[in-house]
Structure 1
């Protein structure tokens, strides 16, 4: 019977300055202490200066009555509401214009990027000229240009441009037909349900092997859902939805949907400026795909447009998405220039708030926190999408 060897105790690791791990921990600890000391010094010095000047601090002013009006608001707001609600209105205005410009700049910029690679000499040169001109003119100047075009060169409401029924363009903005009635909530619920079902259907179709070499027509089914479900909501509501057409009354239009000159100028400036950068991102992404992919697609009998849509662009997305994320973040941050043309974004609303309350430090912190939250949300979504389109390693 053999004896088991005695259990050996694990050797204790001795701390030594020669150990890279020890040096790294010490350096990081010293750096963290310096950063904490600097933050404490700045905070204490700021509070001491504010106290010496009898300036109150804190965010209690958010519950006070604002007392000023806001030109346009996606939610109900009056001057009797609080500063907190006014800042919420400014944040929603910033998010609204950012989302609209991100979608429009992505579509327009993608078309421009494809046009730059066109075999047609004139189309490629015109797209290149647009990109070089627009991205080298400062955005603020472009905003001033579009605002002047809309407010100074457009006719008044009585001589408004009238191209389509219910659509009027004047120096008061763009008037469009709208919907009103109690059935709008039902239609919105049907549209939301249709979007969810379309996404689930697309996810299921990608995982389901094609039967007999045929793919499920996801696009056709999704379009049918987007039409049928809101229509079903309209019928369930008792068809209590009416078309609200704008009409001239007095010196301005009444009814319908109004796109203000400030929103239109800001949107045009951001879309025109950002689409030039998006075009370069798309062009470089397409050119990163090997020429052999084009040749293989053409050998299969695919046209150039189908080769681009089905073969090249899906592969180019892995290169396009990361720099496109930066452009989306730039749209959000560049929207802060709206204060120059009077659009009530969060910067404009907070500026009015701090002028009335004197809470400058808190106002700047609110602006920084709002842009940080929106930017992190966009970055998180784009990172998720980037992981979806990335190549899976084996």
Structure 2
């Protein structure tokens, strides 16, 4: 509420001194707040999202209330032709021109071309221009403008937004999924961390109460038994890069891991071991295992022996970050850490290099090769920028 009050005061104060300067003042205040080290940053961001959704919903309803259905009927077939030209000709042309180069694949460019629902901005601008046209004594032109714009919005929202997932699947641009079996406290906590990193997380859970809790937090949840091959397939196991068995039952976790390995072969399979005595049995079967008991003990030990590091690790995803990425950029291959270091973003370091299954802390003369996996540590934004440099397809 304090932030909202500050935004209103900034707007009103700026308007008092200079007409139409309120929006610029609020935007400036927002940039200053976003770059300031303030507490409760996540709470402020969530509140901002809720307020934005509420205001946009109100504005959209208010603008749509000014539209009469007769405007759409008057446009008729001409309006559909305009929608077709905008959606099928103009947008793809603009997308391909603005994304010229190798940063995006052809499939990603086509996806951006065909999924571009219009919304509040064109509706607001069209309504403003319509008022101006009516004031100039041109009501027919105003009706034509409003009707055409809202027809474009209606059709693109219904068809493009509604079919976005199917279009993405057809163009094969859906990012590889992280499949988490078990939506309990551990599964939800893991899903939240992965989601904050931008991963495409899907949960599998068969308890209705837990399903509801997970969906309330915004996660995609498939209802079913994670030990059922068809349930795994329906949840996207065939496209999953990582499968995590995180239930409270070790037998279920082991079975899920074995099914994922034998039927879907994702890059990474991890299983939660609730009983530390089961860790050896899991690993003998080739399942990479995380013991809940040992992980908790290690976390406590870190806070005792390495409190600064433990506190910093607890902030990963907010201020700091640690990421592992494969080296594919020609700018890095064949160069030493000494040469690469000055080129890294400020606040980012190469902490570890893995090659052929062995990991080591590199010295200044260590030469990177294609396929090396480097661990980057530093500020969140700096690490993300470095990841894009090391692996341009990221």
> TM-score, normalising length from structure 1?
0.19
Greater helix share, 1 or 2? 1
The structure with the largest strand share of the pair is 2
Question: TM-score, normalization: structure 2?
Answer: 0.19
* Higher relative contact order structure (alpha carbons within 8 Å, sequence separation ≥ 6): 1
The structure with the larger Rg is 1
